Amino acid sequence: MPFSCQEAVSHDTPSLRARQREAADAAKIAYGKSLLKDGDLVVRTGNDFISLTLRQFSMQDRTYSHCGLVRIEQGRIFVYHAIGGEDNPDARLRRDSFSEFCNPAHNLGFGIFRYRFSSTEVSRLDSIVEQFYRDKPRFDLKFDLTTDSSLYCAEFIYKAVNRATHRAHFIPTSRIGEFQYVAIDNLYLNSHCRPVYQALFK
């Protein structure tokens, strides 16, 4: 069969589109990174079944499945987050770069939200997050708010932020029957937090 230009274009189109998607996603991450400030909340939407399940615990906005807190240390940006599963076998509180946290290979998008902190509260938050990181608590499979020995992602942020502000209900909680917990949307759907940037990957 004779070779045609039409066949060549058709063959190259998928890889070209893939490169364009990768470039567009990288640009969104780079732009988001340029907006980050110390103490920001970052959230993401995982593209797996577990992430879909976790999103259902949010009562108002089920967009996001995981969350972390930003710390800027000597000009370097880190996201601290509590996570278990295959990606974190020892299930300890960890820190990643913003790009790693938002990786389009594993996520459908991300969001950045900002709390109304004073400079003193930001400083306290940094110290609290640093102490949690030194303690290396494991991921809390029981989703138990009463202890600090293990923490799930939203619990880590809930406790760190509430303690930094010295306000026990700065971030609210959700409830299913008698079970009290912190959902992802509790972290940003409150009067102390505002959206900064939200992105969907292509």
Return the domain boundaries, the chain.
29-200
Alpha-helix runs per DSSP H in 36-152:
49-55, 98-101, 119-135
Enter the tokens of residue 144.
């138990």
pLDDT score of 12: 56
* Mean pLDDT over the full length of the chain: 93
What pLDDT, in 10s, does the model give residues 134-188? 999 999 999 999 999 999 999 999 999 999 999 999 999 999 999 999 999 999 9
Element (H, E) at 72: strand 66-73
Number of CB atoms found within 10 A of residue 199's CB: 21
Strand-strand pairing, 179-181 and 107-115 = unpaired
Closest by CA to 181, choosing from 156, 201, 200, is 156
Write the Ramachandran bin of 118: left for phi over 0, alpha for psi from -120 to 50, otherwise beta: beta
Measured CA distances, 176 to 15, 56, 154, 171 (Å): 46, 12, 16, 17
Q: Yes or no: say if 55 and 184 are a contact pair by the CB < 8 Å rule.
A: yes
Give 164-172's long-range contacts (Cβ < 8 A, gap of 24+): 164/117, 164/121, 164/122, 164/124, 164/125, 164/128, 165/117, 165/121, 165/192
Q: Is the pLDDT of residue 7 over 80?
A: no
Q: Is the pLDDT of residue 4 over 50?
A: no
Residue 188 sits at φ, ψ, to 5 deg, of: -120, -15
Model confidence, pTM? 0.91
% of residues, the chain, pLDDT over 90: 89
In CATH, the architecture of 29-200 is: Alpha-Beta Complex (3.90)
Name residues whose C-beta falls within 8 Å of residue 149's C-beta, 6 or more positions apart in sequence: 137, 138
Q: Yes or no: say if 187 and 154 are a contact pair by the CB < 8 Å rule.
A: yes
Number of CB atoms found within 10 A of residue 200's CB: 13
What pLDDT, in 10s, does the model give residues 52-80? 999 999 999 999 999 999 999 999 999 99
pLDDT score of 32: 98
Instruction: Return the CA Rg of the chain.
Output: 19
